């Protein structure tokens, strides 16, 4: 292919960035340059100014080059999973109360902060907005951001504290998210308690390692994965600020889960009792084919294995009781001890990048010739942080009460399904307090505002005092 003549611009910094693109043999991204207006040219120049082309070149060579490393077979073994104490037995009830108290004391003492990853937009669900702006509340149509924000506000009032909330955003979500927070007065929270930090982006590439255009004036970018929290925390000086506030535990989750029990005291109680560096919530896989990352011993080290890395034999392996051997699916919900995270940053621990297959948005500029599949993104996974932890625990929680991620345009993880399941959960709450006709709701739609009750336990406590209207 004939090499294109380098385009020229007046700004010296822009010209240097353009030269780097040509040096990396990615100059095809300028193929529409002559047709672009000044705004379009500025847009693509701003994009390339933020690219780490050296990292991209390394990843392409490592994962797509002729000498790309093939994953070696790992030694896997089923892991130990902690179970929540039963509510039904006297002993279990007492254990729950003790764990709950440990967690609540930490929250009330200001030792807990909340962090969420919110760098993903909702294009895969068919919406042109950040995922956190989707209206998930079945009646009030509150957004995910507002739903989580009101839970934090309610917890702050209940425990008489002020939990910091750190939110990782990307180029794709930052402007709209901040505007949404400001429009809704930060959902009653103090803006001083909310910190937005930046997630890095990387270009989507084809099988030859070439960047892909989303439109004539923009490159198709993707976030660097949930593992990007390490670099974002380093760049945003997050741990230093939290340490000064007396925080000892960072509760972390992706934004996607409306059932999230934010800073769950019971879970935090386990984390504190076991003196863990990392604690992780898991749920039981729904089927063999569910695309879930699973907990396992990996070459003797307890951690999480990506769905695509689990061999077919282990994927279908059964225990004597007929259940899956590797059944514990990672939820992405973690509690990190602050000293552990600080050690990772001090030691400049770098998480490995994984190659995953991606798809172009069908609503992108139809004039752009699409690259033939497969297309790839490079991302880091938060669960790889666990490999560096000496003490880690995994706690199984009920999926129907705690895990309902928004991930698809249709099916059980679509926006429509999530709104319905959220209503069903509130019906279940009422049924547990005597409204038995709501145990199997059909056409009933219910919503319990987080401002009234951020958990079933608080709902039970308040309804017991105020009664059901």
- Average pLDDT of the chain, as a whole number: 92
The per-residue pLDDT for range 335-351, each reduced to its tens digit, is 999 999 999 999 999 99
Mean pLDDT (whole number) for 112-130: 93
Beta strand residue intervals within 111-248, DSSP E:
112-117, 165-169, 194-198, 201-203, 205-206, 213-215, 218-219, 221-223
Q: Are 426 and 460 in contact (CB under 8 A)?
A: no
Task: Check whether 16 has a pLDDT greater than 80.
Answer: yes
| Percentage of the chain modeled with pLDDT above 70 | 94
Residue 70: is its pLDDT beyond 80? Answer: no
**Considering just the CA atoms, what is the radius of gyration of the chain in Å?**
24
User: Rounded to whole angstroms, how far apart are CA atoms 15 and 8?
Assistant: 7
Superfamily of domain 76-407: Spore Coat Polysaccharide Biosynthesis Protein SpsA; Chain A (3.90.550.10)
Q: Which of 61-70, 75-84, 118-127 has the lowest mean pLDDT?
A: 61-70
What CA–CA distance (Å, rounded) separates 396 from 280? 9
pLDDT 10s digits, 389-423: 999 999 999 999 999 999 999 999 999 999 999 99
Cis peptide before 14 (omega within 30 of 0): no
Beta strands in 415-465 (DSSP E): none
What's the Cα-to-Cα distance from 171 to each of 180, 198, 221, rounded to whole Å?
15, 8, 9
Q: What is the per-residue DSSP string for 246-315?
A: T--EEEEEETT-TT--TT-HHHHHHHHHTT-SEEEEEEE-SSTT----EEEEETTEEEEE-GGGS-HHHH
- Tokens 């889960």 sit on residue: 257
How far is it, in rounded angstroms, from Cα 424 to Cα 391? 37
DSSP 3-state helix, strand, coil percentages of the chain (rounded to 5)? 40, 20, 40
The domains of the chain are located at 76-407
3: which 2 tokens?
Answer: 């090499």
Residue with the bigger pLDDT between 343 and 86: it is 343
| pLDDT digit string, tens, across residues 176-185 | 999 999 999 9
């Amino acid at each position: 292919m004939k090499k294109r003549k380098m385009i020229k611009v007046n700004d010296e910094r822009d010209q240097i960035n353009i030269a780097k693109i040509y040096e990396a043999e990615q100059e095809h991204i300028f193929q529409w340059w002559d047709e672009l207006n000044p705004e379009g040219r500025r847009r693509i120049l701003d994009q390339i100014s933020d690219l780490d082309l050296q990292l991209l070149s390394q990843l392409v060579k490592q994962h797509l080059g002729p000498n790309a490393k093939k994953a070696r077979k790992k030694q896997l073994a089923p892991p130990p999973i902690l179970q929540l104490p039963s509510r039904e037995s006297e002993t279990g009830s007492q254990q729950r109360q003790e764990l709950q108290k440990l967690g609540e004391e930490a929250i009330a003492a200001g030792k807990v902060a909340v962090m969420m990853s919110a760098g993903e937009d909702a294009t895969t669900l068919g919406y042109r907005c950040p995922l956190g702006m989707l209206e998930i509340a079945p009646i009030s149509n509150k957004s995910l951001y507002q739903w989580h924000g009101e839970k934090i506000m309610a917890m702050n009032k209940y425990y008489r504290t002020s939990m910091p909330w750190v939110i990782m955003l990307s180029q794709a979500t930052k402007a709209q998210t901040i505007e949404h927070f400001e429009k809704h007065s930060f959902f009653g929270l103090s803006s001083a308690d909310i910190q937005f930090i930046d997630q890095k982006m990387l270009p989507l590439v084809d099988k030859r390692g070439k960047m892909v255009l989303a439109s004539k004036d923009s490159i198709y970018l993707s976030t660097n994965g949930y593992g990007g929290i390490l670099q974002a925390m380093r760049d945003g000086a997050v741990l230093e600020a939290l340490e000064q506030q007396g925080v000892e535990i960072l509760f972390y989750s992706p934004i996607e889960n409306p059932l999230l029990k934010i800073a769950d005291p019971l879970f935090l109680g386990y984390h504190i009792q076991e003196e863990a560096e990392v604690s992780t919530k898991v749920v039981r896989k729904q089927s063999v084919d569910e695309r879930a990352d699973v907990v396992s011993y990996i070459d003797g080290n307890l951690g999480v294995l990506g769905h695509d890395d689990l061999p077919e034999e282990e994927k279908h392996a059964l225990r004597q009781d007929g259940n899956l051997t590797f059944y514990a699916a990672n939820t992405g919900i973690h509690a990190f001890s602050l000293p552990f995270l600080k050690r990772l940053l001090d030691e400049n621990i770098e998480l490995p990048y994984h190659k995953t297959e991606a798809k172009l948005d069908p609503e992108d500029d139809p004039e752009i010739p699409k690259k033939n599949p497969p297309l790839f993104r490079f991302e880091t996974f938060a669960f790889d942080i666990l490999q560096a932890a000496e003490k880690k625990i995994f706690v199984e929680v009920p999926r129907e009460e705690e895990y309902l991620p928004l991930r698809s345009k249709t099916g059980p993880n679509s926006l429509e399904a999530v709104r319905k399941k959220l209503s069903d959960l509130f019906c279940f709450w009422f049924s547990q307090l005597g409204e038995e006709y709501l145990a199997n709701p059909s056409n009933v739609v219910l919503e319990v505002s987080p401002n009234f009750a951020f958990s079933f336990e608080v709902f039970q406590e308040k309804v017991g005092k105020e009664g059901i209207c």
